[in-house]
Amino acid sequence: MTNHLFYQSRLPRPDLQKAEGIYMWDTAGKRYIDGSSGAMVSNIGHSNPNVLAAMREQMDKSTFGYRLHFQTEPSEALAARISGLTPEGLDRVFFVSGGSEAVESALKMARQYALTQGEAQRYKVISRYPSYHGATLGALAITGYAPMSAPFDPMMKSMPKIPAPRAYLDGMDADDPATGLHYANMLEEKILEEGPSTVLAFIVEPVGGASTGALVPPAGYMQRIREICDQYGVLLIHDEVMTGGGRTGRFFGAEHWDVAPDLIALSKGFGAGYVPLGAMIARNDMVEAVLDAGGFIHGYTYAGNPLACAAGLAVLEEIERQDLVGNAAAMGDALTDRLQALMQRYPVIGDVRGKGLLLAFELMADRNTKAPLPVDLNAHSRLVDIAYENGLIIYSRRTRGGLSGDHFLVCPPMSVNEPQLDEIAEILERSMQQFMA
């Protein structure tokens, strides 16, 4: 039979039958724990009855109204609600349908704002290596992950990168403010090298996602980055596609450092797996300047459709009603304890890191030297496959620049409870035993 559907690879996967809370079932009846919330998306758990009811209610009214023809009640209500959660002065919301679109929108808003300020020479967007900011060519140009971007290099203008602050690999103390300064100052050096008047923006994930495996910035890093951006007139973009929506134990990841960016990209946990939804959030004065100058030259057909926004609104209501942000913080601590206990028993686990329920562990050949496992061991896919067989889905991306090193994100829905964490820990233990055998 011809298989008409295709994605990245020929990897066979079972058909999904149903999903509820943190659990998913395939059509053969096998149960899985969604230990990575898909790709850190299904933050409030699957099949939440209140979200489904809100979607049904909206479906009976309208599912689509083109944004140039109509505003809709859900899109206005959602924009108002989200702006109540952002730092002051940052409350203009532009809806999109995913993370790459949110990042693209931030890049284009930054550039168009610079044009209104008479700064046409500013176009470079500095990012970090490794990083992931999306699949579209613009987002890929600022993505620091060669295996994904290299084939397309001739088709886009690859942007300057600085190293992500992986203090644990460099033998530095992440709690020492000198470490934060050391890494943040690399941005200043890069700006000076590129020529400050050519640099438009810097983009950073407050807590690293798939590419760095839940990398928490060292003390003082985020604050110093803000200072440097201010000093050189560089716009600061926070990519909160993975961190936003409460996953780190605060609604926005950057709240941990009390730093306000100029632009925010939000998605994943915003639609929480119910609808494709994202947002670019911008400083009021930037939006006013761009609209005054003739309008924002950008837009997506499905942006802000009422069904997606009604679902997004219901997701935010559930996050608040169940205090899922607080639960992410508490369950994150409880899961960290379990991962650290696992690390005690398996020396091959060289690091456990993250914030809230954005958590990861990394396998290493040597915990002291931080030497990675040999690439041909294929540890990242082997362990994921073993856990999958055992009914636990975890998320892996080979790190250290795509060359070697194996980390695994363990990020169950924010609605997870302690007995469920015990189930996750038990399957991880069993999977590690089988992996080492």
Q: Write out the binding residues for ligand PMP, residues 247-276 only, by CB under 6 A.
A: 267
Q: Write out the binding residues for ligand PMP, residues 295-354 only, by CB under 6 A.
A: none
Which pairs count as long-range contacts for 10-14, CB under 8 Å and 24+ apart, including other chains? none
CB of 127 to ligand PMP, least distance (A): 11
Question: Applying CB under 6 A, does 210 fall inside the site for ligand PMP?
Answer: yes
Q: How far apart are CA 256 and CA 309, in angstroms?
A: 27
Q: Which is nearer to ligand PMP, 409 or 421 (CB)?
A: 409
- Tell me the site size for ligand PMP, rule CB under 6 A: 16
Q: Which is nearer to ligand PMP, 218 or 271 (CB)?
A: 271
Q: Per DSSP, which regions of 298-401 are E strands? A: 349-355, 358-363, 395-398
Identify the residue among 34, 205, 351, 423 touching ligand PMP (CB under 6 A). 205
What does the DSSP assignment read for 207-251?
S--TTTTSPPPPTTHHHHHHHHHHHHT-EEEEEETTTTTTTTSSS
Identify the residue among 38, 165, 180, 209 touching ligand PMP (CB under 6 A). 209
CB of 225 to ligand PMP, least distance (A): 16
Q: Which is nearer to ligand PMP, 264 or 392 (CB)?
A: 264
Q: Which is nearer to ligand PMP, 74 or 271 (CB)?
A: 271
Angle subtended at Cα 393 by Cα 104 and Cα 17, rounded to the nearest 5 degrees: 90
Question: Applying CB under 6 A, does 404 fall inside the site for ligand PMP?
Answer: no
The stretch among 26-34, 47-55, 205-213, 329-337 that binds ligand PMP (CB under 6 A) is 205-213
Q: Write out the binding residues for ligand PMP, residues 50-109 only, by CB under 6 A.
A: 98-100, 103
Q: Write out the binding residues for ligand PMP, residues 211-240 only, by CB under 6 A.
A: 239
β-strand partners of 354: 359
Q: Helix or strand or coil: residue 126?
A: strand
The stretch among 7-15, 131-139, 285-293, 389-397 that binds ligand PMP (CB under 6 A) is 131-139
Identify the residue among 241, 315, 409, 414 touching ligand PMP (CB under 6 A). 241
Question: Applying CB under 6 A, does 242 fall inside the site for ligand PMP?
Answer: yes
Tokens linked to 360 = 């990861």
Task: Report the residue number whose CB is nearest to ligand PMP.
Answer: 99
Q: Which is nearer to ligand PMP, 210 or 421 (CB)?
A: 210
β-strand partners of 46: 21
CB of 135 to ligand PMP, least distance (A): 6
Q: Which is nearer to ligand PMP, 241 or 410 (CB)?
A: 241
Q: Which is nearer to ligand PMP, 164 or 432 (CB)?
A: 164
Angle subtended at Cα 237 by Cα 231 and Cα 238, rounded to the nearest 5 degrees: 120
Separate counts of helices (H) and strands (E) for the chain: 14, 14
**Would you say how long the chain is, in residues?**
437
CB of 254 to ligand PMP, least distance (A): 13
What does the DSSP assignment read for 180-204?
HHHHHHHHHHHHHHH-GGGEEEEEE
Buried b (16+ CB within 10 A) or exposed e, 270-297: bbbbbbbbbbbbbbeebbebbeeeeebe
What does the DSSP assignment read for 54-71?
HHHHHHTT-S---TTT--
The stretch among 132-140, 177-185, 331-339, 424-432 that binds ligand PMP (CB under 6 A) is 132-140
Annotate each residue in 24-53 with x if it binds ligand PMP (CB under 6 A) or - if it does not, as one string: ---------------x--------------
Classify burial at 399, counting beta carbons within 10 Å of its beta carbon; exposed 0-12, middle 13-18, buried 19 or more: buried
Type and span of the H or E element at 127: strand 124-129
Classify burial at 175, counting beta carbons within 10 Å of its beta carbon; exposed 0-12, middle 13-18, buried 19 or more: exposed
Given the rule CB under 6 A, which residues bind ligand PMP?
39, 98-100, 103, 132-135, 205, 209-210, 239, 241-242, 267
